[in-house]
Amino acid sequence: MFNVGDKIVYPMHGAGVIDSIEEKDILGEKQSYYILKMPGEVKVMIPTAKAETVGVRNIIDKSSADKVMGILEKDETEMDKNWNKRYRDNMDKMKSGDIYEVADVVRNLSFKQKEKGLSTGEKKMLNNAKQILVSELVLAEHASQEEVEQLVENKINTSFMMFRAEEIQTESIVNKFIPFDGTGTNN
C-alpha cells in the first residue's frame, strides 16, 4: 500500500508522486485509485488493488541511482542482430519496470544510434526509455530534469568514446592509408 506523497514508478510511464487517493465510480464499479502526478503535469489513475500486479514500486534510493549511472558508464551488452528480436528484448526490459534494465536499453540504443543510426521504432523506444530513466533519477537525485538529462548524456558520451572511439578511429585510419579498389589488388 502506498500513501499520498510517495514517489513511485509506473512501468512504461516513469516516476511520479501520488497526489491523492480517490474513490471513483467507473462503469458502475467503485474502486480506489492512486492519482499519480507525472512529469509534464500529466496525471495517471492506477487502481490501488492492482498497483502491485502492474509493477508499481517505490523509486530507487541514492545508492541505486549511483548504480544506474555505473551501468551507463559500461560498454554495451550484446544485442540480437535481428531488429524484431532486439526490439522485443528491449521492450521486455522496459516492461519489467527494473531501472537497471531500462538503463541498459538507454545505453545500448544510444551506442547503436551513434554507430549506425536507429529505425523509427527504436528511436521512439530510446526516447521513451530515456524519459522513464530520467523521471526516476530526477526524484531519486533531487535534481532538475535538465541536470539529469545532461548527466545521462555525458555518461553515455564518455562511455561511447571509451569503448567505441578506438574502433572507429582504427577503421578510418585503415581505410585512409590502405585504400581498397575492389579488384583484389591495390596497385
* Predicted model pTM: 0.84
The answer to whether residues 81 and 39 touch, using CB atoms and an 8 Å cutoff, is no
Torsion angle of C-alpha atoms 85, 88, 92, 95, degrees rounded to 10: 170
Report d(CA 98, CA 126) in Å as an integer.
16
Report d(CA 152, CA 109) in Å as an integer.
13
The domain covering 62-176 belongs, at the CATH homologous superfamily level, to: CarD-like, C-terminal domain (1.20.58.1290)
pLDDT at 178: 52
List the chain pLDDT tens, one digit each, 187 residues: 899 999 999 998 999 999 999 999 988 999 999 999 998 888 999 999 999 999 999 999 999 999 999 999 999 999 998 889 999 999 999 999 999 999 999 999 999 999 988 999 999 999 999 999 999 999 999 999 999 999 999 999 999 999 887 665 555 544 555 555 555 555 4
Residue 124, SS3 per DSSP: helix
CA-based R_g, the chain, Å? 21
Please state at what angle helix 120-141 crosses helix 145-177, rounded to 10 degrees. 140
- Cross-strand pairs, 9: 15, 57
pLDDT at 82: 87
Q: Domain residues of the chain, as ranges?
A: 7-58, 62-176
Report d(CA 2, CA 22) in Å as an integer.
13
Residues near 33 by beta carbon (within 8 Å), at least 6 away in sequence:
21, 22, 23, 24, 45, 46, 47, 48
Report d(CA 22, CA 54) in Å as an integer.
18
CA 112 from chain centre, in angstroms, equals 14
Please state at what angle helix 99-115 crosses helix 145-177, rounded to 10 degrees. 40
Report d(CA 30, CA 65) in Å as an integer.
38
Q: What is the DSSP letter of 76?
A: P
The dihedral built from the CA positions of residue 141, 76, 127 and 169, taken in this order, carries a sign that is positive
CATH top-level class for 7-58?
Answer: mainly beta
